[in-house]
Amino acid sequence: MPLSVLYIGGTGVISSACVRASLALGHEVHVLHRGTGGGHGTPPGVIEHRGDIRDPESVRRALGGRTFDVVADFIAFVPEHVTTALELFADSGQYVFISSTSAYQKPAAILPIRESTPLRNPYFPYSRDKIACEDLLVREYRATGAPVTIVRPSYTYDRTLFPMDSGWSVVERMREGSPILLPDGGRPLCTLTHAEDFAATFVRLLGDPRTHGESFHITADTAISWRQAFDAVAAAIGASPDYVAASSEEIAASDGGWGEILLGDRAHSSVFDNGKVRSLVPSHAPGIGFAEGARQIVEWHDRTPSVQVRDRERERLMDELIGRHRGG
């Protein structure tokens, strides 16, 4: 009998890939969203429900008392969101919370990172909120045995999303020959995971009672440096980039928001051991490397002029920092 799976969100980069993978497995796939447009849309075969998860009454009206074997929550960011979801779906089965590998200890004392790595991030509020959500779910499992599962993605992208902080500005600057600011010289290692690879493993955790009370990260098996990631984008457009290095601390002193992301995540090498998830999903074998991913990203953006938006404020800051290092 196929699983009935409700995706809360379901139209984002990661969740839309999981929706497609669920359909391919024969799941009865439901998506709860506000119907305000944007995102990746829903493919044929999905049962859509229009409601706002931040408005519990609208969700009750939309679902009409329906329950599900699995509820996968991609848009819970603070403990209040999780509490609401647990109340709304108390009569359903497994609740899967999408956390983040940025919740792991920064910097990690031991590499590779495993699910046993401590959760601690003093730099990034987003990550601390995810940790608080996880703590709530662990307490709930210990107290009641609730069928909850925690999944942590890492830098998961598709053709619509650049994993670089400055997005399309990076491509345009490379094409026009403008220098590129490379935090920490691009030395830290990152694990960039294509959404399709993530989804292929994620959907095979659904409905498995062995996952209850457990946490898993799902990532690519290969780490590359951020310099190699930028080089892959450059290769995809045939550019020879002019890099200028600046420390994450220096960037943070000029832009606190960017600094939180760097010091709370990207300034620290992220290398993962996928042994735990592979013990339940032996087929976990991410096959889309970032050289291919970068090519997909550039091709899609080049065909979609509406998304070719440069972040001029970020570029202004980059030029200011580049000027300091080059004496301009």
The pLDDT of 294-308, averaged and rounded, is 96
The pLDDT value recorded for residue 37 is 59
Structure tokens at 4: 């009935």
Confidence of residue 38 (pLDDT cuts 50, 70, 90): low
Domain range 4-157+192-218, CATH architecture: 3-Layer(aba) Sandwich (3.40)
Residue 131's pLDDT band (boundaries 50, 70, 90)? very high
> Per the structure block, which two tokens stand in for 144?
């009641």
Question: Has residue 314 got a pLDDT over 90?
Answer: yes
- The pair of structure tokens assigned to 164 is 């670089």
Cis geometry, peptide bond prior to residue 112 (ω within 30 degrees of 0):
yes
Residue 328: pLDDT band with limits 50, 70, 90: low
**What confidence score (pLDDT) does residue 41 get?**
84
- How confident is the model at residue 14, as a pLDDT? 97
Question: How many angstroms separate the CA atoms of 216 and 203, rounded?
Answer: 13
Q: What is the predicted pLDDT for the residue at 96?
A: 98
Residue in 114, 60, 74, 111 with CA at minimum distance from that of residue 268: 111
Q: Flag whether pLDDT at 168 surpasses 80.
A: yes
Q: What is the mean pLDDT of the chain?
A: 96
pLDDT single digits (tens) 77-120: 999 999 999 999 999 999 999 999 999 999 999 999 999 999 99
Contacts of 57 (CB under 8 A, 6+ apart): none
What does the pLDDT read at residue 2? 85
Q: What is the per-residue pLDDT for 1? A: 63
For 208-238, the pLDDT digits (tens) are: 999 999 999 999 999 999 999 999 999 999 9
Residue 194 and residue 231 in contact, taking contact as beta carbons nearer than 8 Å: no
Nearest to 104 by CA among 270, 226, 312: 270
Asked if the model's pLDDT at residue 277 lies above 80, the reply is: yes
Per-domain residue ranges of the chain: 4-157+192-218, 168-191+225-271+293-318
Quick one: pLDDT at residue 156? 97
Q: Look up residue 99 and give its two tokens.
A: 């956390």
Least confident range from 34-43, 154-163, 278-287, 288-297: namely 34-43
pLDDT-above-90 percentage for the chain = 94
